[in-house]
Amino acid sequence: MGPFPLDATLGKAATYIIYVLIGMGFGYSLETVGFGRSTKLTAQFYLRDMTVFKVMFTAVLVAMVLVFGFAGLGWLDYDRIWVPPTYLLPGALGGLLVGVGFIIGGFCPGTSIAALATLKKDALFFLIGILGGVVLFGETSPLYDHFLESTYMGRLTLPDMLGLPAGVTVFIVTVMGVLALWGAEQIEKSARQKDGLEVKPVGKKTALGWGGLIVAGLAVMLIGQPTTEQLWQRVAPEKQPILDNREVQIHPAELRDVFFNTRLNLIMLDLRPEADYNLFHINGAKRVALAQLQGMGSELKAAPAGTLVVLMSNDETLATAGWKILVAEDVGNVYILEGGLNNFIALCSESPFEPMPGGDETLRFVIDAALGGNHTISNLRQQGKEFEYAPKVKIEQKAPTGGGGCG
Amino acid sequence: MTTATQAKLPAKARTKTKVTAPPKAFTNPYLGGVLLGVVLFLAFYLTGNGLGASGGLNRMVVWLIDLAAPQYADRVSYLIQYAGGDKNALDNWIVLLTVGIFLGGLASGWRGNRLKWETVRGPQISDRQRWAFALIGGVIAGFGARMARGCTSGQGLSGGATLSVGSWAFLMAFFFGGYALAYLLRKLWRPADPEPES
């Protein structure tokens, strides 16, 4: 499943060669459609030649359909690809300035590089200007860094905002995009007619391409995005043995040691009902319902390196169900508290609570007040008992969630 | 597979018409758009990163500053993150991508007989005027790209395809900015207006 941890598997040199090749595909596409010529680029804004709009929107639609299609088929993890975070106002004002710079200077940064490669003097001046603009920004940005950090909305996507499934959003955007392309053709046609320029009708192949794009968008909608259950079925042959061999069920004493390891970022998630959680929980554990866990995948994946998640319930049944969800969502370093809270209390306490009988996933101790995380034994810092245990925690590095389109 | 066969064609053409080979027509915008879209997708699929251009240029600027004044680069906050201490600002994927853009542009320009040391401008201005405006536009676009945390590629294409809300806002603002000033600046790009009929 893409994206791939290239650095770790291929080494740095090979990874960098891949980036050069991708860049070459990019530069080639820009130049071959005419983006090396400033007059061709700016013609967009005089309506006689809408190549910029056509190329950009076709590229966006094609890439979008492929990204979400692959994600839907389980071949690409959407959570692990770079989605530019939204800073609404700085983004919009910056976009406006790039547009203004475009109509004054004739390029945007990417096209000016491709134009310089074809020896255009104006591109050289534009690039020198960019370098100046970058320095100017760096020197002055402390003056308005408040604004630069404002209206931050994180990794906000159109499906999130509209409250629609990703596949439906993709289909809507595809249809609207094709309509916009058709509209651009009409505007271009009437503008050219006014100037007495040659007018070409929309070709058969173009129309077929538009139709194909809409069909592809429809297919993405029908495939949908995989459910957690489907994702688990896909990884189960590989991951179920890990559960069966008890490789991720960590001893309470290991939890304590991980807690004290300052190089690790420990996230404890308590999956029990609120009543049990209120009676007793480990100090620092956050209560999360199993149903909420599904939505936490992307958040946990974005956590810094060295993060590990320990799931806990009264026994192991709930925590194991939670483990499957997070592992299906491709979260790394997920563990289960061995024997759950019942085992934790039994092992760690000087038996402050009376045991009582009960079924699986019930709290089998008599706790007559809602102690929450306030009992001495709730606090991992107070745990002094030493146990022999086989360490199971192995921190592994997943493919990073991208470093940014323009980092 | 097709590139290998196509690459032979211009080679043959070149031997016959060495100097005077006219620039070839540009690729159909939809075909080019599909190519660009596939490249963009491959970038995401293989690496998880999208395409970008301003980020690479930014790092080249920082590298130049670090070369000229390393103490300065260690002191200014926005430079430290790229070039503080032993850090090499160029040691980053986006720089390699930027180098690739140049090489890809070169390859396409060479294939299309479009490698020519020239100034491309509207008919109503001089070369020098064009250079001046290119410089000014570059400053504004470079500044704007840093403010928006990406340019037309990093925000527009990469964020557009992954359905980032901020990137779609960027795209709309970008086109708005261009159209808002287009009429005012028509002398830069358009032929002279015809004399009003009286």
Between strands A365-366 and A354-355, the pairing is: antiparallel
Question: Has residue A76 been placed in a domain?
Answer: yes
Task: Kindly state whether residues A186 and A284 are assigned to the same domain.
Answer: no
Which tens digits make up the pLDDT trace of B99-120? 999 999 999 999 999 999 999 9
Taking an 8 Å cut-off on Cβ atoms, the answer to whether B117 and A39 are in contact is no
Of all residues in chain B, the one with the smallest CA distance to A115 is: B105
Task: Kindly state whether residues A376 and A287 are assigned to the same domain.
Answer: yes
Of all residues in chain A, the one with the smallest CA distance to B142 is: A130
Question: Has residue A390 been placed in a domain?
Answer: no
Taking an 8 Å cut-off on Cβ atoms, the answer to whether B165 and A153 are in contact is yes
Q: Which of B29, B119, B166 sits opposite A122 (nearest CB)?
A: B119
Give the DSSP H or E segment for A268: strand A265-270
Q: What is the pLDDT along chain A (407 residues), one digit of tens a residue?
A: 889 888 888 999 999 999 999 999 999 999 999 999 999 999 999 999 999 999 999 999 999 999 999 999 989 988 889 999 999 999 999 999 999 999 999 999 999 999 999 999 999 999 999 999 999 998 898 899 899 989 988 889 999 899 899 999 999 999 999 999 999 999 999 999 988 888 888 999 999 999 999 999 999 999 998 888 888 988 899 999 999 999 999 998 899 889 888 888 999 999 999 999 999 999 999 999 998 988 888 788 878 878 899 999 999 999 999 999 999 888 889 999 999 999 988 887 566 788 888 889 999 988 888 888 888 788 877 666 677 788 898 887 665 544 444 44
Total domain count, chain A: 2
Q: How far apart are CA B50 and CA B161, in angstroms?
A: 9
Task: Kindly state whether residues A307 and A161 are assigned to the same domain.
Answer: no
Q: Which of A19, A134, A160 sits opposite B58 (nearest CB)?
A: A134
Taking an 8 Å cut-off on Cβ atoms, the answer to whether A129 and B136 are in contact is yes
Taking an 8 Å cut-off on Cβ atoms, the answer to whether A129 and B141 are in contact is yes
Question: Has residue A397 been placed in a domain?
Answer: no
Which tens digits make up the pLDDT trace of A118-144? 999 999 999 999 999 999 998 898 899
Range of the domain at A259: 229-382
Domain limit, last residue, from A226, A258, A279: A226
Chain A residues with CB-CB distance to B47 below 8 A: 3-4, 6, 15, 18-19, 22, 402
Task: Kindly state whether residues A194 and A316 are assigned to the same domain.
Answer: no
Strand order through the sheet with A307-312: A249-250, A334-337, A307-312, A265-270, A286-287
Question: Has residue A393 been placed in a domain?
Answer: no
pLDDT value at position A405?
A: 43
Domain limit, last residue, from A177, A200, A226: A226
Of all residues in chain B, the one with the smallest CA distance to A138 is: B78
Report CA torsion sign: B146, A53, B99, A9.
positive
Within 8 A by CB and 6+ apart from B106, the residues are: A27, A117, A118, B115
Which tens digits make up the pLDDT trace of B130-148? 999 999 999 999 999 999 9
Task: Kindly state whether residues A211 and A129 are assigned to the same domain.
Answer: yes
Query: Could you tell me the residue ranges of all domains in chain B?
Result: 1-117, 122-198
Q: How far is B16 from chain A (nearest CA, A)?
A: 22
Q: What is the CATH number of the domain that holds A372?
A: 3.40.250.10
Chain B residues with CB-CB distance to A398 below 8 A: none
Question: Dihedral, CA atoms, B150, B151, B156, B159, nearest 10 degrees?
Answer: -20
Task: Kindly state whether residues A235 and A219 are assigned to the same domain.
Answer: no
Within 8 A by CB and 6+ apart from A295, the residues are: none
Task: Kindly state whether residues A222 and A234 are assigned to the same domain.
Answer: no
Q: Which of A63, A86, A133 sits opposite B143 (nearest CB)?
A: A133
B9 has a pLDDT exceeding 60: no
Task: Kindly state whether residues A275 and A211 are assigned to the same domain.
Answer: no
Q: Which of A15, A24, A53 sits opposite B104 (nearest CB)?
A: A24
Which residue of B2, B72, B165, B181 is the best one to mutate when testing the A interface, meaning the one whose CB has the most A CBs within 10 A? B165
Task: Kindly state whether residues A210 and A246 are assigned to the same domain.
Answer: no
Task: Kindly state whether residues A155 and A133 are assigned to the same domain.
Answer: yes
Taking an 8 Å cut-off on Cβ atoms, the answer to whether B30 and A96 are in contact is no
> With a cut of 0.85, is the ipTM above it?
yes
Task: Kindly state whether residues A234 and A281 are assigned to the same domain.
Answer: yes
| pTM score | 0.83
DSSP codes, A116-169: HHTTBHHHHHHHHHHHHHHHHHHHHGGGGHHHHTTTEEES-BHHHHHT--HHHH
Question: Has residue A1 been placed in a domain?
Answer: no
Task: Kindly state whether residues A248 and A127 are assigned to the same domain.
Answer: no
CA angle B74-B88-B105, nearest 5°?
130
Phi/psi class of residue A226: alpha, beta or left (left: φ > 0; alpha: ψ in -120 to 50)? beta
Question: Has residue A394 been placed in a domain?
Answer: no
Taking an 8 Å cut-off on Cβ atoms, the answer to whether A123 and B134 are in contact is yes
